[in-house]
């Protein structure tokens, strides 16, 4: 349970302002696992279990059973239940941010699953100081997965050549072009998502207040890239851009949750750049077509 602004540990403190950075916080900013956190009466320290759906006490305003004083949630300090560590009582830890503890492999698949099926929860778990390079690494891995089928096909042809003449195959220009193409393919989507997030953030700021900085917008767009892995399923990728569309939806939902803005504002921010690109592309095609008609 850490301050979203600076990471200061907030256990056993009354809600209010973070002593380190001054950022305001309440128990509603956190998602505790039900029954795993106890809340202390500010007058007599009698402990109440947080049994509500978000792990907070129900009701949130009552008279203390032990001392009779009136107590509200906003005056209570929270502590993990005896014998439990922080990671056992908090429900909203971002798996990719927490990858050092749970392991990179497991963290990647958990983040991917959340991006596909629970983007809102994933974005809520995103810290305010989320690092863009973490999100870039995740999106690059997701992008790399879309190459598995093409790479498997290429490998099927290349492996016999590699076994016959390893030196010549590795140094041939075809191999270089293929490697370059693969790296370019992996990098292009995360880079486009970064550009998209810059436009999205300007649009959001123009439309009213937002909760966090550009890093929050960029992370929402980049962690929204999980569904592009659907593009690695051969038939699906050929007949429809399912992964890309799903990814845009995931980004919109994550941006709305992370920046605390309406779905409409978030959709406008995320879709503006793709819509402009399509409009400009269409205009250029139309112009070329008309120029050809008018020509000799």
- Chain contacts with Zn ion (rule: CB under 5 A): 3, 5-6, 8, 18, 20-21, 23, 41, 43-44, 46, 64, 66-67
User: For residues 19 and 155, which CB has a smaller minimum distance to Zn ion in the complex?
Assistant: 19
Least CB distance from residue 154 to Zn ion, whole Å? Answer: 50
User: For residues 3 and 136, which CB has a smaller minimum distance to Zn ion in the complex?
Assistant: 3
**CA torsion sign, 273 to 274 to 275 to 277?**
positive
Angle between helices 132-145 and 214-223 (to 10 degrees): 20
How far apart, in whole angstroms, are the C-alpha atoms of residue 61 and residue 150? 59
User: For residues 8 and 185, which CB has a smaller minimum distance to Zn ion in the complex?
Assistant: 8
Least CB distance from residue 21 to Zn ion, whole Å? Answer: 3
Helix (H, G, I), strand (E, B) or coil at 57: coil
How far apart, in whole angstroms, are the C-alpha atoms of residue 112 and residue 241? 18
User: For residues 7 and 118, which CB has a smaller minimum distance to Zn ion in the complex?
Assistant: 7
Least CB distance from residue 22 to Zn ion, whole Å? Answer: 7
User: For residues 6 and 182, which CB has a smaller minimum distance to Zn ion in the complex?
Assistant: 6
Least CB distance from residue 213 to Zn ion, whole Å? Answer: 15
- If phi over 0 gives left and psi between -120 and 50 gives alpha, with beta otherwise, what is residue 40? beta
- Residue 59 token pair: 């009701």
Least CB distance from residue 75 to Zn ion, whole Å? Answer: 11
Which runs of consecutive H residues, i.e. helices, occur in 97-241?
99-102, 104-117, 119-124, 132-145, 148-164, 166-171, 173-207, 214-223, 234-239
């Amino acid at each position: 349970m850490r301050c979203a602004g600076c990471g200061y540990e907030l256990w056993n403190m009354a809600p209010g302002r973070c002593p380190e950075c001054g950022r305001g916080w309440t128990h509603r900013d956190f998602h505790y696992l039900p029954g795993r956190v106890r809340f202390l009466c500010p007058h007599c320290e009698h402990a109440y279990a947080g049994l509500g759906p978000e792990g907070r006490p129900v009701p949130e305003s009552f008279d203390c059973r032990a001392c009779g004083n009136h107590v509200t949630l906003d005056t209570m300090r929270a502590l993990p239940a005896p014998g439990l560590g922080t990671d056992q009582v908090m429900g909203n830890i971002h798996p990719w941010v927490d990858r050092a503890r749970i392991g990179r492999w497991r963290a990647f698949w958990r983040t991917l699953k959340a991006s596909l099926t629970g983007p809102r929860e994933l974005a809520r778990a995103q810290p305010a100081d989320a690092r863009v390079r973490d999100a870039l690494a995740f999106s690059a891995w997701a992008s790399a997965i879309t190459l598995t089928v093409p790479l498997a096909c290429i490998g099927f042809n290349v492996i016999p050549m590699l076994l016959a003449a390893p030196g010549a195959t590795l140094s041939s220009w075809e191999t270089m072009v293929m490697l370059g193409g693969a790296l370019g393919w992996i990098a292009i989507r995360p880079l486009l998502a970064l550009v998209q997030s810059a436009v999205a953030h300007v649009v959001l700021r123009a439309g009213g207040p937002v909760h966090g900085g550009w890093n929050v917008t960029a992370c929402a767009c980049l962690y929204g890239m999980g569904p592009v892995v659907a593009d690695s399923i051969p038939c699906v990728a050929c007949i429809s851009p399912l992964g890309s569309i799903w990814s845009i939806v995931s980004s919109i939902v994550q941006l709305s949750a992370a920046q605390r803005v309406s779905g409409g504002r978030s959709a406008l921010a995320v879709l503006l750049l793709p819509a402009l690109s399509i409009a400009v592309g269409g205009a250029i095609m139309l112009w070329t077509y008309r120029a050809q008609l008018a020509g000799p």
